[in-house]
Structure 1
């Protein structure tokens, strides 16, 4: 309809035509936490898929009769859904708690949307929010990686190994993208991690 109005006026501008064709932009509250420039791109992508509930989990694959069962690959006790994998599964829940202890993170949030909302609303410096967002992305990515290792290589890693990988990834990534101007208190906090 908008396109017809543009054409009937006799003057057509490419930008206006494009805007008429493109649907309205959807605003989401988790944008800054998911697409954090300090995080590793593949971690952000997997977190984005998890937030949108578009991961190829066994529950979804079972519905299309691609896999024979829908049990979690890490614990084998419940259906592998996004809610179970992030963070009802005992292995994933333990990893989340160890990461919270490592960061000194005091929140009861235990689902991806609630964790991202908490990070967005938390009263802390921008640097700390970026570190928390980077850690959430790394946590989700590594739990997904751990799940895929169980699927393809029949290996289930110990929580301590997964947590060490997350800590190493986060420390190395943040050090390489450390802002030039950072408060001393934030620098000290990060150095103690």
Structure 2
């Protein structure tokens, strides 16, 4: 689904890629608007299937606030599983306890299991206001040497998008954000279903490993050492 979404993104923004050009020339031709285009009966099955899938994605792409940050969600540095959870979080589709109660699913308790604040587990609390997740965010930001507010998932992406940072720096912060959302959701599930308590220091270490591995596996070729802060950080203005 993520790869299909990325291809849809390229078609919508008319990226100058060979495969996209080929699709425009062979299939779409004069129909420049991907959303209103209807495939003919002699088109391939895969192309017809993509046009079916786009119907469920149109609202997301045409939502002005989300469209501002869609490129960050499809960052090449994000792990696919992190990207999926981040996308669900930005769409407020994760099954938090607040949502469960709202649709009639019984919970032993509606309170957040990661902290002692006795607050209902909704999206904003779990990923922005929970003391547990705030501690993780603060330590990771100190490690990177940057300052960024910790808000609910979609607002964090909007903040990153608006900052006058280089592309690499934005993508690194998005990797951190995506990893935080993923590991927070994982820690929440481990506590609920396995009664395992995940320490914040463990999550911080996991996020650092993910960031290093994702950059090392990309074409950026950065070498991590004590200069991590100078290479990536740079105090924000």
Per the TM superposition, whether the score is higher than 0.5 is yes
Equivalences, count: 177
List runs of 5+ in structure 1 lacking aligned partners.
1-13
Match of 1:75 in 2: 115
Cα distance between partner residues in 1 of 2:79 and 2:157:
17
Match of 1:30 in 2: 69
Give the deviation of 1:66 after TM superposition.
Answer: 3.4
Q: Deviations over 1:25-46 (max 9, x none)?
A: 5151111111111110100110
Cα distance between partner residues in 1 of 2:182 and 2:135:
15
Root mean square deviation of aligned Cα: 2.9
Cα distance between partner residues in 2 of 1:39 and 1:122:
19
Q: 2:86 aligns with which of 37, 47, 54?
A: 47
CA contact (8 A) 1:62 1:68 kept: no
Higher RCO by CA contacts (8 Å cutoff, separation 6 or greater)? 1
Match of 2:231 in 1: 189
Match of 1:120 in 2: 161
> For 2:36, what is the secondary structure of its paired residue?
helix
Give the deviation of 1:177 after TM superposition.
Answer: 1.3
List runs of 5+ in structure 2 lacking aligned partners.
1-26, 39-54
Compute the TM-score of the two structures, normalised by the length of structure 1.
0.80
Match of 1:7 in 2: none
Match of 2:49 in 1: none
> For 2:149, what is the secondary structure of its paired residue?
coil
Q: Deviations over 1:73-114 (max 9, x none)?
A: 212511000000012111011111111111112133433223
Give the deviation of 1:163 after TM superposition.
Answer: 0.6
